[in-house]
Amino acid sequence: MFPNHRPRRLRTHPQLRRMVRETVLTTNDLIYPLFAVPGEGIAKEVKSMPGVYQLSVDKIAEEAKEVYDLGIPGIILFGIPEDKDTDATGAWHDCGIVQKAATAVKEVVPDLIVIADTCLCEYTAHGHCGYLEVGDLTGKVLNDPTLELLKKTAVSQAKAGADIIAPSGMMDGFVQAIRVALDDAGYQDTPILSYAAKYASAYYGPFRDAAESAPQFGDRRTYQMDPGNAREALKEIGLDIAEGADMLMVKPALAYMDIIWRVKEASNLPVAAYNVSGEYSMIKAAALNGWIDEQRVVLETLTSFKRAGTDLILTYHAKDAARWLQ
């Protein structure tokens, strides 16, 4: 006798499929990354990331208005300074590029959530995420002195109007250091979105073109996580929660959905995933060659991140996805 249960019964009509869909992607899930550069009237496409641009502050403000009008609730800002030095001055200076961009965006669209990426690699002459020993050519960042730079950076970003501080350098104790600094400066209500499980990934390649942040020597494996480790991610998120993180991020997303799931199961905090540049560029390249249906692949990919446990998705597909979802 044929089984009584026929799962295909609930797939017979588009509306029926929509009614029983377990995971629903909306524009509320999306955060759009933006890259700010000095100057005016600048919109320079990133060669390895079709459709993504380095933008001057005036163009960032215009882009933020478009993002808001599409129903996307937030952006994350990265900066490319005019000058780089060993003290990452452009990261924490009150007139830094991210600070200028944050202020400009809040003036134009005050209800758009502005997240500031709180890292130093774009601002150091060597491209690493903090201080190095004099003469060091391995890229082993000095952890505790770097925390002082991160504290100054976070406070200056909050002062400029950033709604959320997102430290991404994977320094030990960076959440606690930033939390104390923000509280002491009067920003007790500014949340921290910690890049809690950030892997030393080859998927970051195109981003380094966009942010001009490639290390001049060595690599970042002494501070970013080994791709083979899963239990370590739970250790990292546990430390960040204890230090005061309000939200947690897993980066990258596509090859790390098992980590997203583990983090979601282990925590009651909102979980973000960064759909990174290499993931974006692979889809874009395939779409431009006519090998895939871009809309279907993008929405399926973003939905899979949410199904794995993400509450927030940082993605360069955000504007396209918002239009398609409408």
Report the candidate in 247, 226, 284 with the shortest Cα–Cα distance to residue 163: 247
Return the CATH class of domain 23-325.
alpha beta
* C-alpha of 59 from chain center: 20
pLDDT of residue 126: 85
Higher pLDDT, 211 or 157: 157
- What the block records as the tokens of 129 is 């995420």
Q: Do the beta carbons of residue 123 and residue 99 sit within 8 Å?
A: no
Q: Do the beta carbons of residue 309 and residue 266 sit within 8 Å?
A: no
Catalytic residue among 251, 264, 284, 319: 251
Residue 46 has pLDDT above 80, yes or no: yes
Q: Do the beta carbons of residue 252 and residue 228 sit within 8 Å?
A: no
Asked if 264 is an active-site residue, the reply is no
Instruction: Spell out the residues 6+ positions from residue 66 whose beta carbon is closer than 8 angstroms to its own.
Output: 319
Confidence of residue 192 (pLDDT cuts 50, 70, 90): very high
Q: 94 — phi, psi (to 5°)?
A: -60, -25
Alpha-carbon dihedral sign for residues 127, 132, 133, 138: negative
Cis bond upstream, residue 252 (ω within 30): yes
Average pLDDT, the chain: 95
Annotated binding site for Zn(2+): 119, 121, 129
Q: What average pLDDT score do residues 219-247 get?
A: 95
Residue ranges covered by each domain of the chain: 23-325
Confidence of residue 138 (pLDDT cuts 50, 70, 90): confident
Helix locations, the chain, DSSP H? 14-19, 57-69, 89-92, 97-108, 143-160, 174-184, 205-211, 231-243, 257-266, 277-288, 294-308, 318-325
pLDDT of residue 280: 97
Q: What average pLDDT score do residues 237-252 get?
A: 98
| DSSP-derived 3-state class of residue 291 | coil
Question: How many residues comprise the chain?
Answer: 326
Instruction: Spell out the residues 6+ positions from residue 303 whose beta carbon is closer than 8 angstroms to its own.
Output: 23, 25
Catalytic residue among 84, 151, 152, 198: 198
Annotated binding site for Mg(2+): 236
Q: What is the pLDDT of residues 56-68, one digit of tens each?
A: 999 999 999 999 9
Q: How many CA atoms lie within 13 A of 113 on its CB side?
A: 19
pTM of the model: 0.95
What's the CA dihedral at 62, 64, 65, 71 to 10 degrees? 150
pLDDT of residue 1: 64
- What the block records as the tokens of 324 is 């398609």
Report the candidate in 269, 253, 273, 261 with the shortest Cα–Cα distance to residue 308: 261
Q: What is the pLDDT of residues 66-115, one digit of tens each?
A: 999 999 999 999 999 999 999 999 999 999 999 999 999 999 999 999 99
| DSSP-derived 3-state class of residue 28 | helix
Name 250's bridge partners.
197, 273
Report the candidate in 141, 149, 183, 185 with the shortest Cα–Cα distance to residue 167: 149
Q: What average pLDDT score do residues 179-195 get?
A: 98
Q: What average pLDDT score do residues 215-227 get?
A: 84
What are the start-end ranges of the E strands in 68-135? 74-79, 113-118
Higher pLDDT, 156 or 207: 156
pLDDT of residue 211: 64
Asked if 251 is an active-site residue, the reply is yes
Residue with tokens 């030393």: 200
Report the candidate in 154, 220, 145 with the shortest Cα–Cα distance to residue 182: 154
Confidence of residue 18 (pLDDT cuts 50, 70, 90): very high
**3-state DSSP helix/strand/coil percent for the chain, to nearest 5?**
45, 15, 40
- What the block records as the tokens of 318 is 């955000």
Among 39-43, 166-170, 212-216, 316-320, the range scoring the smallest mean pLDDT is 212-216
